[in-house]
Structure 1
Amino acid sequence: MNKHQQSGMTTLLITSMLLIVALLFSLASYKNLFYQIKRTQNEVLARQAHWAAEGGLECGFAAIQDAGSISGARPTYIDDCKTSLKLVYLDADNYINSEYADISNKIIKKKINLSSSITGAIQSRSDLRLVGSYSISPDVEDIHNDGDYKCIAIRFSNEVKVEGSLISTPPKGKVSYDNFIPGGNCSKLYKTHTYESSKNWDINQSTYTNEPSENGLFKMDLVRDTLFDPFESFFNDKFENIDNIKKDYEVISGSKSNKRDESCDYLVSEAFKLKDKVWVEGDCDLLDTYYLNSLNNTAKILVINNGIVAINSSSSFYGIIYHYINKDSNIYENNELSIRWKSMPSAVHFESNILTKSVFIQNGSFNPSGGMIFDTLNGHTTLISGMTLNFTNEANPNPPSKKISWQQGSWHDF
């Protein structure tokens, strides 16, 4: 071979080696590319499974929110929410679990909080004065870690003053807590018994000087809540829509007459023959509640709006009383309150010092089974002679509204 032939062979050999190296690099690059494509496809499938499982959570959440209770929503989130999912269920710790098991496997869960908007057999934004002996079968908010229940007898904004005794008994009716077991008892920390604590019938106690506490005279079944506003919770609507709210009620004008067939008691009882929800505008003297006491045991709501209320009776009412006064009402101005009481027939049975500031006065053991709500901010409510209030939600034709929310920090989406 000559020199030129050897040079061509060398060039060809070097070129071939470079092509082989390039081919090897290309093959290695394609292998990595295929790996990346496979990873991407797996990630897409994993995210599809994740979002499908998350859809199960949202479906379960919406079902409970719509039904207002876990038990009521169970058929929905067990059956309807299982579309394309293996399982959607709520465990004993209130975690909604959602499992997807098709093209990929994914289980995610998140805890919910489900509670009544506002609990309390008696709810009062006014100062509340209790004169005599009071026995209250409370509402239930939740279960306590000692196995008994967190009972709520009175929820109040400012002050509860007891001149006599206040006893919280075990719950006797349907309560707000869905998982309450009939026959259950209140935790000892949620069981006020002022008569037993004081050993003195003439005791005069106030939540101003005895803040409700685990070891105090007033236990935790009295809840000081300075911010609570029962209106939206009770009516399931905002105050701005009060005209629409009233459309569900038989609306009448109040009365201060002591004539039987013109009294507020009579007018209210006649209105209840038309609807189980009655809305009274203005002052209402219910006298001895003769007609209310004769009504049947169908759950009822009696709303008294922007007026003062008098009751001089020992009787029962199967329903709930809601007393509402707009904070801007002229009832609180100058001598307006005193003027109104002068024309109320029942006022002759009340001491004059009570009339100077009370917007609701009850003399006698009048027992509304559905509870009492005094939505009279800046007002004063006086109950005299005591009562035995066996609270039950069954006496309220409006089912208690529920608040459902995700518990913050129960879901880590990564």
Structure 2
Amino acid sequence: MINIYRQSGMTTLLITSMLLIVALLLSLASYKNLIYQVKRTQNEVLARQAHWLAEGGLECGFSYIKDIGDISAAKASFGNCESLLNLSEVDISTNNVMRSSFSELAYKKVIKKVKAKRKTSSGALKSSADMYINGSTLFETVDPGEITPDGWECVAIRYKNIFNARAGGTNYGVNITKPYDDFYNQGSDCQTNNKTNIATNGPFLNDFIHDENLEPFYDLFNEHRDNWEKVKTDLNFFVISNTDIIDGRKVVSSCGTIIANEIENNSNRRLWIDGSCEIKSSEISNLNEAISNNSTPVLLLVHDGIFAINTGSDGVYINGMLYHLNTNFIPSESFWSNFDANSHFGNYSLFSGIEKGKTVYHQRGSLIFSGGQVIDSPGDIAYFDQSLRFKYNRDKIDSVIDPHYEFVWQKGSWNDL
């Protein structure tokens, strides 16, 4: 009996020991897996910390760009971001790709691009004056504006009050000629409702925008129009002021000839016409010759007066931009009798509500400013005696002014909301 009990006890002990060994092995295996999970969790925590530190580096660098307003100048402050967040790198490449790296885990966060966006409302031609066109408007290139899921915004004209074109308008879109050199159409043209192609006076689509709040001077110069003297000084305009006084108003005699001489002189790229300016058909050949001899864009600003041009049969293509600004000028019908353009108001009868005595701008013939046109004379009238043909190139504008930009993340690159 004793042997039987001893064998039974040993069997029980053996089974118990085996169960304990199995339990121990399972515990060790579970512990090993637990340790692995703990380490993995710690790595995940560190990775997320590195992720957010790198993200913080991008935000920090971008904040300096926004604050300083210039990418190259802001790079000098990126070291502050590195030391503050213990990063190995915060930098931006020549094509505006920003990098932020956390060195301990070699973690790198990259965005595609920081985009410089001009602080301006869109529009190839802008007018705070009422516009009357005895013909059609043809836009070979428009301001693309912003991209949407349905295509580009494509703004041809932005006007404050009245726009009237007797023969309609045509918008060629953005796929034939680039509106600026680094423009990428992203496989899209204008939105369907933003590409006018009509032969009658309306209805114009959304590429012709009625904007009651239009402030073209602030759009271009980032200053209120009352501060025109500051802009004139800051941009170092060459002032053309050899004026006659007619009916108590300043008039620049031989205006076209003077402009031609200054365009041919590369040192004067910003011309400020102090008073009324008429470019006569007899001056067009000299003007075209000066333009052909000079590839540098110009900014022609006519201040406080009428502007009139008759290009004759030759037409004029000016590399640059025209800005017509009236801040303290009151036109009159009798004043026009001093200019050759006075004999080209015969078609006024085709428009209702138009007044010669309120007209400040008169264009006859083919005139193209490659950088755009702005007529900034609220309450007055701009009259185009023949069809308007237009091209837009933003680079021409940027090359002759100090562009004011806001900086944004490029769509689809990082942190889009």
The TM-score normalised by the length of structure 1 is 0.66
1:326-371 Cα distance to aligned partner (Å, 9 max, x none)? 1xx240xxxx422321212222222366523211010111111111
Q: Does 1:251 align with 2:254?
A: no
* Paired position in structure 2 for 1:185: 189
Q: Does 1:368 align with 2:369?
A: yes
Aligned-partner Cα distance in 2 for 1:50–1:270: 59
Q: 1:307 aligns with which of 289, 305, 308?
A: 305
Specify the code of the residue in structure 2 equivalent to 1:128.
Answer: M
Give me the CA root mean square deviation: 4.3
Aligned-partner Cα distance in 2 for 1:323–1:340: 18
* Paired position in structure 1 for 2:201: 204
Specify the code of the residue in structure 2 equivalent to 1:249.
Answer: F
Q: In the alignment, is the contact (CA less than 8 A) between 1:285 and 1:310 conserved in 2?
A: yes
Specify the code of the residue in structure 1 equivalent to 2:146.
Answer: D
Q: Does 1:385 align with 2:378?
A: no
Cα gap change, 1:230 to 1:80, in 2 (>3 Å): farther
Q: In the alignment, is the contact (CA less than 8 A) between 1:280 and 1:305 conserved in 2?
A: yes
Alignment partner of 1:62: what SS? helix
Cα gap change, 1:184 to 1:49, in 2 (>3 Å): closer
Alignment partner of 1:362: what SS? strand
1:231 Cα offset (Å): 1.3
1:203-242 Cα distance to aligned partner (Å, 9 max, x none)? 334xxxxxxxxxxx32221222211212133124444543
Specify the code of the residue in structure 1 equivalent to 2:166.
Answer: E
Alignment partner of 1:359: what SS? strand
Specify the code of the residue in structure 2 equivalent to 1:307.
Answer: G
1:62 Cα offset (Å): 3.0
Cα gap change, 1:78 to 1:223, in 2 (>3 Å): farther
Q: In the alignment, is the contact (CA less than 8 A) between 1:319 and 1:395 conserved in 2?
A: yes
1:320 Cα offset (Å): 0.5
Q: In the alignment, is the contact (CA less than 8 A) between 2:269 and 2:297 conserved in 1?
A: yes
* Paired position in structure 2 for 1:141: 145
Cα gap change, 1:177 to 1:285, in 2 (>3 Å): same
Aligned-partner Cα distance in 2 for 1:219–1:85: 51
Gaps of 5+ in 1: 1-45, 196-202, 206-216
Q: 2:274 aligns with which of 270, 274, 281?
A: 281
Q: In the alignment, is the contact (CA less than 8 A) between 2:118 and 2:405 conserved in 1?
A: yes
Q: In the alignment, is the contact (CA less than 8 A) between 1:320 and 1:369 conserved in 2?
A: yes
Cα gap change, 1:66 to 1:186, in 2 (>3 Å): farther
1:181 Cα offset (Å): 3.7
* Paired position in structure 1 for 2:65: 63
1:63 Cα offset (Å): 2.6
Specify the code of the residue in structure 1 equivalent to 2:261.
Answer: E
Q: In the alignment, is the contact (CA less than 8 A) between 1:253 and 1:280 conserved in 2?
A: yes
Alignment of 1:56-135 (within 5 A): 56-63=58-65, 76=75, 83=82, 84-85=86-87, 115-118=117-120, 119-135=122-138
Cα gap change, 1:389 to 1:182, in 2 (>3 Å): farther
Alignment of 1:312-351 (within 5 A): 312-313=310-311, 314-326=315-327, 329-331=328-330, 336-351=331-346
* Paired position in structure 2 for 1:162: 165
Alignment partner of 2:272: what SS? strand
Q: In the alignment, is the contact (CA less than 8 A) between 2:334 and 2:357 conserved in 1?
A: no
1:186 Cα offset (Å): 2.1
1:285 Cα offset (Å): 0.8
Aligned-partner Cα distance in 2 for 1:176–1:117: 16
* Paired position in structure 2 for 1:153: 156
Aligned-partner Cα distance in 2 for 1:346–1:253: 21
Cα gap change, 1:108 to 1:385, in 2 (>3 Å): closer
1:244 Cα offset (Å): 3.5
Gaps of 5+ in 2: 1-47, 246-251, 350-354
- The number of equivalent residue pairs is 331
* Paired position in structure 2 for 1:271: 262
- Identity among equivalent positions (%) equals 23
* Paired position in structure 2 for 1:232: 218
Aligned-partner Cα distance in 1 for 2:219–2:228: 13
Aligned-partner Cα distance in 2 for 1:130–1:97: 51
1:77 Cα offset (Å): 9.9
Cα gap change, 1:193 to 1:371, in 2 (>3 Å): same
Alignment of 1:8-87 (within 5 A): 54=56, 56-63=58-65, 76=75, 83=82, 84-85=86-87
1:184-210 Cα distance to aligned partner (Å, 9 max, x none)? 632322211122xxxxxxx334xxxxx
Q: 1:222 aligns with which of 188, 193, 208?
A: 208
1:118-139 Cα distance to aligned partner (Å, 9 max, x none)? 2211011111112213211101
* Paired position in structure 1 for 2:295: 297
Q: In the alignment, is the contact (CA less than 8 A) between 1:78 and 1:89 conserved in 2?
A: no
Specify the code of the residue in structure 2 equivalent to 1:350.
Answer: F
Alignment partner of 1:141: what SS? coil
Cα gap change, 1:182 to 1:380, in 2 (>3 Å): farther
Alignment partner of 1:58: what SS? helix
Cα gap change, 1:106 to 1:144, in 2 (>3 Å): closer
Specify the code of the residue in structure 2 equivalent to 1:267.
Answer: I
Aligned-partner Cα distance in 2 for 1:233–1:96: 28
Aligned-partner Cα distance in 2 for 1:182–1:281: 44
